[in-house]
Structure 1
Amino acid sequence: MQRLIRGRINKLGICVILLLSLLIGRLVQVQLISTESFTKDHINLIEASVKQRTQSLIIDEGRGRFIDRNGLPLTHDYFPSVILFPFLNGLDWPKDELAGIVGMTTNEIDRLLADAKKPVVLSESLTEEKLEKVNELDYPGVVALYRQFKLKDNIAEHVIGMTGEDVETFLERYPDKVEKENYSPHTPIGVSGLEQAFDEIILPEGATKLLYHVDRFGGPLFGIDVRYMSPSNPYYPLSVKTTLDKDIQQVAEKVLDDYKVKKGGLVILDIATNEVVAMVSKPSLDSQSPLKGPGAHNLMLEPHFPGSVFKTVVTAAAIEENIVDKDMTYNCDLDIRGNLLKDEEKRMGTLNLEKSFAQSCNYTFGEIGKQLVAKDKEVLDKYADILGLTGTVGWRGNMFGFEDFIQIPAEKDNVIWTDANEKGVPLAIAQTSIGQKDVKVTPLAMANMMATIARGGKSKEVKLVSDILYKNGTSLYSFPEHDREVDKLSPYTVMQLQHLLREVVAADTGTGWRMRDLPYEVAGKSGTAQTGKLVEGDRELLNRWFAGYFPIQSPKYAMVMVELDVLDENNVSSVYVEMVQQLYKLENPER
């Protein structure tokens, strides 16, 4: 019996020892090994412990910010602020002096602190001089500094993009940062737009916080002052300097809202630098579900049927290949199949190339297209490539630490043909030549084509970001201009294209007649494309375009406006006219 009892005691002792060993092991893991990355959720136990006994306020999230070409903030900015910690309520502190400095009454300050559960921020009408006076009070719980604030209005939301918490994606993108640098996988990351493209560059090294230790009742632990906790690197966070002009971007967004554009948008390029000055896509992002729904995509980076704007490519090819002259005429009473147009109002009579371009005669360009492809099956691809309507046109290349970096990763490829066999089908060639069939191009690429023509034929990649700046404003990296490695049109062809684009607006029967009499003279091309989408029985939705540049004497802006999936009525001309007028006002405020 004693042996049996002794055996049971031994077994129980072993179990107790094993249990104690497990508890000790767990304690070692919690206290020593996994203090900054506990469990599969990578919980930082030190931070969690600190949170239990401190009150804190984040001054700067630590993520890099985006600014416009003039240094104006697009996402967040820094404002002078006075921080009051909740435990001040009921204490005897220099409230009267603070009220005098910030221009408030003591009763107002008392009301703010009365039910405060977290630090109170005062930021109205504060100056640097006032901040200094507040800090001279030198009282625990009263701090004056510059605090980061997110801008109230979302500017260029599709361009800048969104951030969000995505543990799975974070671990996939940055496994080394979690394992070696103790990053929390709950750190917000870029999920769209420039936020996604530049995510690794502007990822926060850590937030800047004000910390104040409290007892278990929330009262202050005197003798321990407010701590300012920030990452050790004084050059971070970085700023991404975009090529956007904030004023122009805001005007463009307002104009599209005023004209109630439901689907479409516009792109404006600086012709000299080939940089995006403004880009607006409609519909807007859904704040509740930004990555889903009709507003989730930037439609200015997605390809759409261009219609007659594509005739610019056919015209360039025809002039360059010397298959047309000013005396050649075409029967514009016919459609691209050679049949008489049923609608008499659409019959234009016999026109030469210049008038066919101005009035957008489909028959002319269907015939020219067939003649070109009979000579060379790749000819439309060749000139579309020269003018930037194949592949993508956004800036890409090597920069520090990144090979083949793409500034605009959401940009989709432009398409001319989806089936090379159709290059031998006359009707398919004619349809392609008027920007239908399988032709789809992005508004960004179309704006780039107009900028290329306005520049005299020099083709460049489009930039959306010009510089990456240190926190103090000095340059870390500047993105150089990149010429596109394509053949160049002859000066004569470019000159003729410029003339024809101007005639679209200037000629009495030109399709761009509404662009006349503007403060900037406009050259451009309109386009109406069938989409194949039917509504209300047999009514077809259309894509409406106007792509051009201005002023023609000294081209500064290339602009494309497109409205997608509309019926006969559209806002394209009205929006284009309004934007030219608004740009003129911004450039000439005294007039």
Structure 2
Amino acid sequence: MNNPLKHVAVVGFVMFALLFGSTSFVQYFQAQALRDHELNTRTLVEELSRERGPILVDGTPVAYSVPVDDTYEYQRTYGADGMPAEVYAPVTGFFSIVSGASGLEKTENGLLAGTDDALFYDKISSIFTGSQPAGAAIEITLDPEAQMAAWNALGGQKGSVVALDPKTGDVLAMVSSPGWNPNPIASHDRDEALNAYERLIADDDNPAYNRAIGGNLYPPGSTFKLVTAAAALESGEYTPDSQLSGPATLDLPQTTATISNSGGGACGSGGTVSLADSLKNSCNTSFADLGMTLGSDAMSEQAQKFGFGESFDIPLQVSASSFPSDTNPPQLAQSSLGQFEVRATPLQMAMVSSAIANGGSLMHPQLIDQVRNARTLDLISEPSPREFSRPISGDTASALTDMMVSVVDDGTGTAAQIPGVDVAAKTGTAQHAQGAAPHAWFTSFAPADDPQVAVAVVVESGGNAGSQASGGRVAGPIAKAVMEAVINE
């Protein structure tokens, strides 16, 4: 063979090898990515032409598929009798032919669509029967009584409520207000679905944010004093009876700024106040001074132990709450009151109360109760409770519990009193913007001697009370309603 023919043969061989390699790469290595691509309408049609598994609350579907006579064969539907779609939308999310998916519809898509490896035997069976594999049924941990109590108590005010079972980490309530209805976004009419999605995203009230775990994080205000008190008790240098400086006004070092108490006067008599009484009456000057004394490292470390700085899944992704590092004394004083650059989700503050309620053990929050085969009801998975961290000792948890009970008995949290039940709580009123009404906060648990529920509530910009808002007055009754709903079941 002469040289020109050899060159042609080599080039032909190389081109064949490249073609074979590229097609093999696409078919083998990129197959799943191409299959999952949002523009792959064939996959979407395939998914919607099989029965998508339901999302259930206490056995009742709040997201489910209904047979229809169109290209997609099944219409995704949200809500149930007495369980409005907008109340559960931040958790369920939506499944749309034009906008993809959100919430649990997104994070648990493989199970709901029937494509997850956990449904392997169903998929094999469907090959022989010629039927489409059905999606799994996902039972979530929400308590319908607690969920509706939270929704009704918020009464349309912007904000959020989270309730946890301190012993297991189960999310008993997760409400974000204002709510929104996923049904128009799930429409098979593409124009209707797209318009509904665009209206949701463009809404100035940001209903698309799940305020419980993400969106714009909030300064937690005085509810963060629980973390500061925990750091003091954990240091071994303080007890609930330790005397703190509590002047009417605290001059901050390195600046001309000052910190004052909400009532304008000093805390305690003689310029000093015990740690317990300081928490009960939410004394700003004593906690600001205490934070500076403890130091930036101790405060930052205690916040991290409670979960600040960490993003995690429940399986919805939870935005990381934050506590600033390397603060100077004035910044640290403000941070010790839950101001300056401290930011928290309502879930995070519910976790703080939950850890105290559970003797110092913080359980990992979880939304999934169990996953079952929707046809056979066979159990596929059932997440076990697991510890998130151990931020405080049992002794510290006991001391904080007693201090929080006094907040409700005769401190700033009396609005959450439940007859015959000891309630532990901390109020918060958080400044967040110049001239804006403060956010109203409340975090609590009950019964104090055998906790069944830990709650955090935030009402944005004081809600209906506006500039007259306080955490105890505005958010306290909401937390009470949720605690009663769980305790009275």
**Letter matched to residue 194 of structure 1:** L
Cross-structure match for 1:214: none
The question of whether the paired residues in 2 share the 8 Å contact of 1:189 and 1:199 is answered with: no
Q: Cα deviations across residues 450-479 of structure 1 (Å, max 9, x unaligned)?
A: 111100001221101122211122211222
Cross-structure match for 1:264: 159
Cross-structure match for 2:323: 416
Pick one of 493, 511, 515 that aligns with 2:416: 515
**Letter matched to residue 439 of structure 2:** N
**Letter matched to residue 73 of structure 1:** P
Whole-angstrom distance in 2 between the partners of 1:585 and 1:392: 29
Change (3 A) 1:151 1:77: farther
Pick one of 293, 301, 305 that aligns with 1:382: 301
Q: Cα deviations across residues 346-392 of structure 1 (Å, max 9, x unaligned)?
A: 4334312111111111111111111111xxx4211211122223313
Cross-structure match for 2:60: 72
Alignment pair present for 1:526 and 2:427 = yes
Cross-structure match for 1:332: 247
Query: What's the TM-score, normalizing by structure 1?
Result: 0.61
Residue 145 of structure 2 aligns to a residue whose secondary structure is: helix
Whole-angstrom distance in 2 between the partners of 1:43 and 1:301: 31
Whole-angstrom distance in 2 between the partners of 1:344 and 1:151: 46
Tell me by how many angstroms 1:327 deviates.
Answer: 4.3
**Which shows bigger deviation, 59-68 or 306-315?**
59-68
Q: Cα deviations across residues 407-464 of structure 1 (Å, max 9, x unaligned)?
A: 122x2111101xx442xx2101111111111100111011011111100001221101
Tell me by how many angstroms 1:256 deviates.
Answer: 1.8
Whole-angstrom distance in 1 between the partners of 2:142 and 2:91: 9
Pick one of 544, 559, 578 that aligns with 2:440: 544
Alignment pair present for 1:554 and 2:450 = yes
The question of whether the paired residues in 2 share the 8 Å contact of 1:389 and 1:449 is answered with: no
Change (3 A) 1:519 1:436: same
Cross-structure match for 1:295: 207
Cross-structure match for 2:16: none
Alignment pair present for 1:442 and 2:323 = no
The question of whether the paired residues in 2 share the 8 Å contact of 1:394 and 1:461 is answered with: no
**Letter matched to residue 62 of structure 2:** L
Alignment pair present for 1:197 and 2:197 = no
Q: Cα deviations across residues 255-276 of structure 1 (Å, max 9, x unaligned)?
A: 222xx31x21100111221111
**Letter matched to residue 320 of structure 2:** D
Cross-structure match for 1:111: none
Alignment pair present for 1:243 and 2:141 = yes
The question of whether the paired residues in 2 share the 8 Å contact of 1:542 and 1:565 is answered with: yes
Change (3 A) 1:306 1:336: farther
Change (3 A) 1:328 1:579: closer
Q: Which runs of 5+ in 1 are unaligned?
A: 1-36, 48-58, 84-117, 120-146, 167-187, 206-229, 396-406
Q: Cα deviations across residues 137-190 of structure 1 (Å, max 9, x unaligned)?
A: xxxxxxxxxx99654530411111112124xxxxxxxxxxxxxxxxxxxxx842
Aligned residues: 400
Cross-structure match for 1:255: 153
Cross-structure match for 1:455: 358
Tell me by how many angstroms 1:336 deviates.
Answer: 5.7
Whole-angstrom distance in 2 between the partners of 1:156 and 1:544: 23
Alignment of 1:14-33 (within 5 A): none
Q: Cα deviations across residues 215-234 of structure 1 (Å, max 9, x unaligned)?
A: xxxxxxxxxxxxxxx98468
Tell me by how many angstroms 1:199 deviates.
Answer: 1.6
Change (3 A) 1:586 1:244: closer
Alignment of 1:291-330 (within 5 A): 291-293=201-203, 294-302=206-214, 303-325=217-239, 326-330=241-245
Pick one of 74, 89, 92 that aligns with 1:160: 92
Q: Percent identity?
A: 23
Tell me by how many angstroms 1:492 deviates.
Answer: 1.7
Tell me by how many angstroms 1:312 deviates.
Answer: 0.8
Pick one of 433, 455, 477 that aligns with 1:577: 477
**Letter matched to residue 292 of structure 2:** K
Tell me by how many angstroms 1:197 deviates.
Answer: 0.9
Residue 335 of structure 1 aligns to a residue whose secondary structure is: strand
Cross-structure match for 1:353: 275
**Letter matched to residue 203 of structure 1:** A
Cross-structure match for 1:481: 385
Change (3 A) 1:357 1:195: same
The question of whether the paired residues in 2 share the 8 Å contact of 1:454 and 1:555 is answered with: yes
Whole-angstrom distance in 1 between the partners of 2:479 and 2:331: 36
Change (3 A) 1:494 1:256: same
Whole-angstrom distance in 1 between the partners of 2:379 and 2:287: 49
Whole-angstrom distance in 1 between the partners of 2:302 and 2:377: 42
Cross-structure match for 2:118: none
Whole-angstrom distance in 1 between the partners of 2:260 and 2:391: 37
The question of whether the paired residues in 1 share the 8 Å contact of 2:248 and 2:264 is answered with: no
Tell me by how many angstroms 1:60 deviates.
Answer: 8.0
The question of whether the paired residues in 2 share the 8 Å contact of 1:336 and 1:362 is answered with: no
Residue 406 of structure 2 aligns to a residue whose secondary structure is: helix
**Letter matched to residue 353 of structure 2:** M
Whole-angstrom distance in 2 between the partners of 1:366 and 1:330: 10
Root-mean-square deviation (CA, aligned residues, Å) is 3.4
Change (3 A) 1:487 1:519: closer
The question of whether the paired residues in 2 share the 8 Å contact of 1:65 and 1:202 is answered with: yes
Change (3 A) 1:371 1:345: closer
Whole-angstrom distance in 2 between the partners of 1:586 and 1:489: 26
Change (3 A) 1:250 1:368: same
Larger radius of gyration: 1
Residue 565 of structure 1 aligns to a residue whose secondary structure is: helix
Q: Which runs of 5+ in 2 are unaligned?
A: 1-34, 116-127, 185-195
The question of whether the paired residues in 1 share the 8 Å contact of 2:355 and 2:391 is answered with: no
**Letter matched to residue 52 of structure 2:** R
Whole-angstrom distance in 2 between the partners of 1:41 and 1:368: 56
The question of whether the paired residues in 1 share the 8 Å contact of 2:149 and 2:485 is answered with: no
